[in-house]
């Protein structure tokens, strides 16, 4: 698991995954995310950086941008202990108000209050 620097790093392209996570794995990741203070919301879309291949990542929206390094370290440790062998996700941290809209892809929300609830169809 790694945490690219979303502020100055490469541009990311997000999309809904072609093969969504199993409900059990999504639930496990959501529970691990919920244990880390400072995370407001989380999504598991596909992403790619530059011309690379799409892969599934964990996008988190944090309350305070300056706490990203500590939050990512805490979440990484919890995921290494709590995920099944072979489950690997890059963590893509953003300030909650700066999460790209495309990262909030349909059926990718796993934790917190989505900024795009289904009933706000006019957004």
Cβ 47 vs Cβ 57: under 8 Å: yes
Contacts of 30 (CB under 8 A, 6+ apart): 42, 110, 111
pLDDT of residue 123: 43
pLDDT per residue as tens digits for the range 52-73:
899 999 999 999 999 999 999 9
As a whole number of angstroms, the distance between CA 123 and CA 110 comes to: 20
DSSP letters of 11-49? -EEEE--SSPPPHHHHHHHHHHHHTSTTEEEEE--EEEE
CATH topology of domain 23-111: Alpha-Beta Plaits (3.30.70)
pLDDT per residue as tens digits for the range 28-50:
999 999 999 999 999 999 999 88
For the chain, give the mean pLDDT: 86
Q: What are the extents of the domains in the chain?
A: 23-111
Overall average pLDDT of the 84-93 stretch: 90
């Amino acid at each position: 698991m790694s945490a690219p620097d979303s502020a100055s790093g490469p541009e990311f392209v997000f999309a809904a995954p072609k093969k969504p996570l199993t409900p059990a794995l999504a639930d496990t990741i959501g529970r691990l995310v919920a244990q880390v203070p400072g995370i407001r919301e989380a999504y598991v879309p596909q992403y790619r950086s530059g011309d690379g291949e799409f892969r599934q990542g964990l996008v988190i929206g944090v309350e305070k941008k300056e706490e990203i390094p500590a939050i990512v370290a805490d979440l990484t440790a919890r995921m290494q202990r709590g995920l099944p062998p072979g489950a690997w996700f890059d963590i893509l941290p953003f300030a909650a108000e700066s999460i790209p809209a495309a990262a909030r892809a349909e059926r990718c929300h796993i934790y917190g209050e989505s900024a795009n609830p289904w009933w706000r169809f006019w957004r």
